């Protein structure tokens, strides 16, 4: 399952980068409407990378991701483990907008749904993700921009 979408936000490129790369307590504030604190755990982190366990509130799903941010305009992730799929990766590209704020271009791929539940999750993400993810992410980033 591949999802691609773009969104515009009032957040500056620097704020967008921080939203996706700050793995401290601030992450729970920025993503408070989508990130479940009970599932959140930073396993390892260093300069330009982090391994994080995350999941959304209200659903019994979790992923273990390795985030990397090799440049200030790019964040990538690789799925290391999950309770519903075997493989996954994603990329976020951040560009400044002439009128202020940022454009965020996102591509994510997940495959190998584990059992009927995993296949159902991937199907649902494929159908609803292109609409739901941009709305949720824009709302969080716009709140961050204040």
Pair of tokens at residue 141: 């980033």
Contact 84, 59 (CB under 8 A): no
Residue 27, domain CATH: 3.30.530.20
Q: Where are the beta strands (DSSP E) in 60-101?
A: 63-71, 74-82, 85-96
H or E element, residue 15 = helix 13-21
pLDDT digits (tens, 9 = 90+) for 25-51: 999 999 999 999 999 999 999 999 999
Which residue carries 């620097």 as its tokens?
Answer: 14
H or E element, residue 2 = strand 2-9
Give the total number of structural domains in the chain. Answer: 1
> Whole domain around residue 116: which residue ranges?
2-145
pLDDT digits (tens, 9 = 90+) for 131-140: 999 999 999 9
Q: Which residues in the chain come in under a pLDDT of 70?
A: none
The CA distance from 135 to 106, in Å, is: 13
């Amino acid at each position: 399952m591949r999802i691609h979408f773009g969104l515009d936000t009032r957040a500056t490129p620097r704020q967008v980068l921080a939203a996706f790369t700050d793995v401290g307590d601030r992450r729970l504030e920025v993503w408070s409407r989508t990130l479940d604190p009970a599932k959140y755990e930073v396993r390892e982190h260093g300069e330009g990378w982090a391994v994080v366990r995350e999941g959304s509130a209200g659903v019994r799903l979790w992923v273990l991701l390795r985030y990397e941010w090799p440049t200030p305009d790019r964040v990538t992730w690789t799925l290391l483990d999950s309770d519903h799929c075997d493989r996954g990766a994603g990329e976020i590209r951040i560009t400044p907008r002439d009128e202020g704020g940022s454009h965020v271009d996102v591509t994510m791929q997940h495959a190998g749904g584990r059992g009927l539940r995993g296949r159902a999750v991937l199907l649902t993400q494929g159908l609803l993700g292109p609409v739901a993810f941009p709305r949720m992410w824009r709302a969080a980033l716009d709140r961050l921009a204040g």
